[in-house]
């Protein structure tokens, strides 16, 4: 996947072909997990949340990358957006000393709760260790 940078409220947007398996999976169960790995930082971020399929023409026009042109013969009918509203974000970055609990390996995390203006911080936890 090639996600857009997260919105200020941490909403994540991605484009996909409406015929993909992930679309069918999201229709069945909107719970998703996204994994971002950074080889330079020797760490990762895991986002869990709820996905929603968005087929709004204006939103799709706003969230488009020219390099995707080759993947969509009929952009209007094939291109679909996935909007992920995060519920939890976990971070591990060994180069910065951000690591999980030494016994349980649970990583530091941020929890979000849905608010009237989108996701907002609910809690932040750094495991003991």
* DSSP conformation class of 122: E
pLDDT (0 to 100) of residue 57: 95
pLDDT (0 to 100) of residue 120: 58
pLDDT (0 to 100) of residue 97: 87
Residue 104 contacts residue 86 (beta carbons within 8 Å): no
Low-confidence ranges of the chain (pLDDT < 70): 114-129
Structural domains of the chain, ranges and CATH numbers in brackets: 12-125 (2.30.110.10)
Cα–Cα nearest to 18, from 61, 49, 60, 66: 60
pLDDT (0 to 100) of residue 116: 44
| Distance between CA atoms of residues 20 and 67, nearest Å | 19
| Distance between CA atoms of residues 84 and 71, nearest Å | 22
pLDDT (0 to 100) of residue 95: 86
pLDDT (0 to 100) of residue 96: 86
Residue 87 contacts residue 50 (beta carbons within 8 Å): yes
Q: Which pLDDT tens digit goes with each residue over 14-24?
A: 999 999 999 99
pLDDT (0 to 100) of residue 127: 62
- Please tell me the pTM assigned to this model: 0.85
């Amino acid at each position: 996947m090639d996600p857009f940078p997260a919105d200020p409220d941490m909403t994540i947007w991605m484009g996909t072909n409406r015929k993909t398996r992930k679309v069918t999976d999201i229709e069945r169960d909107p719970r998703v997990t996204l994994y971002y790995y950074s080889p330079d930082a020797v760490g990762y971020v895991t986002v869990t949340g709820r996905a929603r399929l968005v087929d709004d023409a204006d939103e799709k026009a706003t969230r488009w990358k020219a390099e995707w042109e080759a993947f969509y013969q009929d952009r209007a009918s094939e291109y679909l957006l996935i909007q992920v509203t995060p519920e939890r974000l976990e971070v591990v970055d060994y180069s910065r000393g951000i690591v999980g609990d030494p016994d349980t390996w649970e990583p530091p995390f941020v929890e979000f709760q849905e608010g009237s203006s989108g996701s907002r911080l609910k809690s932040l936890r750094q495991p003991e260790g």
